[in-house]
Structure 1
Amino acid sequence: MNSSDRTPADLLRSALAADPARPLITFYDDATGERVELSVATFANWVAKTANLLQGDLAAEPGDRVALLLPAHWQSAVWLLACSSVGVVADIQGDPAAADVVVTGPDSLDRARACRGERVALALRPLGGRFPQAPEGFADYAVEVPSQGDRFAPYAPVDPDALALVVDGVELTGAQLVARARQDAAGLGLAPGSRLLSGLTYDTWDGLTAGLFAPLAAGASVVLCRHLRQLDQEGLAKRAESERVTNTAV
Structure 2
Amino acid sequence: MTMNRSPVLGLLDSWSGGQGAPALTWYGPAGERVELSERVLANWVTKAVNLLTDEADVAPGSTVGLDLPMHWRTLVWALAAWGCGATVVPSEEGASPAGVDVLVTADEAAAAPVVIAIALPALARQVDQLPAGAVDGAAELMAQPDVLISPPDWDPGALALGATRHAGLAEDLGVEVPSRERVLVPASGLDQGLRTCLAIWSTGGSVVLVGDPDADLDRIGEQEGALPLPG
TM-score, normalized by length of structure 1? 0.82
Which aligned runs of 4 or more in structure 1 are off by greater than 6 angstroms? Answer: none
Structure 1: runs of 5 or more not aligned: none
Provide the C-alpha distance between the structure 1 equivalents of 2:206 and 2:83, rounded to a whole number of angstroms. Answer: 20
Question: Do 2:48 and 2:80's aligned partners in 1 also have CA atoms closer than 8 Å?
Answer: yes
Provide the C-alpha distance between the structure 1 equivalents of 2:135 and 2:2, rounded to a whole number of angstroms. Answer: 38
> In structure 2, do the counterparts of structure 1 residues 132 and 45 end up closer, same or farther at CA, with 3 Å as the change threshold?
same
Provide the C-alpha distance between the structure 1 equivalents of 2:43 and 2:58, rounded to a whole number of angstroms. Answer: 19
Structure 2: runs of 5 or more not aligned: none
Match of 2:77 in 1: 79
Per-residue deviation, residues 216-244 of structure 1 (Å, max 9, x unmatched):
111000100112x212xxx3222111111
SS of the residue aligned with 1:98? coil
Match of 1:196 in 2: 183
> In structure 2, do the counterparts of structure 1 residues 28 and 99 end up closer, same or farther at CA, with 3 Å as the change threshold?
same
SS of the residue aligned with 2:123? helix
2:217 maps to 1:236:
yes
Provide the C-alpha distance between the structure 2 equivalents of 1:120 and 1:159, rounded to a whole number of angstroms. Answer: 24
Match of 2:12 in 1: 12
SS of the residue aligned with 1:24? strand
Q: Percent same amino acid among aligned pairs?
A: 33
User: How big is the shift at 1:131?
Assistant: 2.5
> In structure 2, do the counterparts of structure 1 residues 15 and 132 end up closer, same or farther at CA, with 3 Å as the change threshold?
closer
The structure in which a higher percent of residues are helix is: 1
SS of the residue aligned with 1:127? coil
Match of 1:25 in 2: 24
User: How big is the shift at 1:79?
Assistant: 0.6
2:221 maps to 1:213:
no
Question: Do 2:6 and 2:83's aligned partners in 1 also have CA atoms closer than 8 Å?
Answer: no
Question: Do 2:78 and 2:88's aligned partners in 1 also have CA atoms closer than 8 Å?
Answer: yes
Provide the C-alpha distance between the structure 2 equivalents of 1:12 and 1:48, rounded to a whole number of angstroms. Answer: 8
Amino acid corresponding to residue 103 of structure 2 in structure 1: V
2:126 maps to 1:138:
no
Provide the C-alpha distance between the structure 1 equivalents of 2:50 and 2:98, rounded to a whole number of angstroms. Answer: 24
In the TM superposition, 1:172-187 aligns within 5 A as 172-181=164-173, 184=175, 187=176
Amino acid corresponding to residue 187 of structure 2 in structure 1: L
TM-score, normalized by length of structure 2? 0.88
SS of the residue aligned with 1:230? coil
> In structure 2, do the counterparts of structure 1 residues 196 and 12 end up closer, same or farther at CA, with 3 Å as the change threshold?
same
Q: Pairwise CA RMSD of aligned residues?
A: 2.2
> How many residues matched?
227
SS of the residue aligned with 2:184? strand
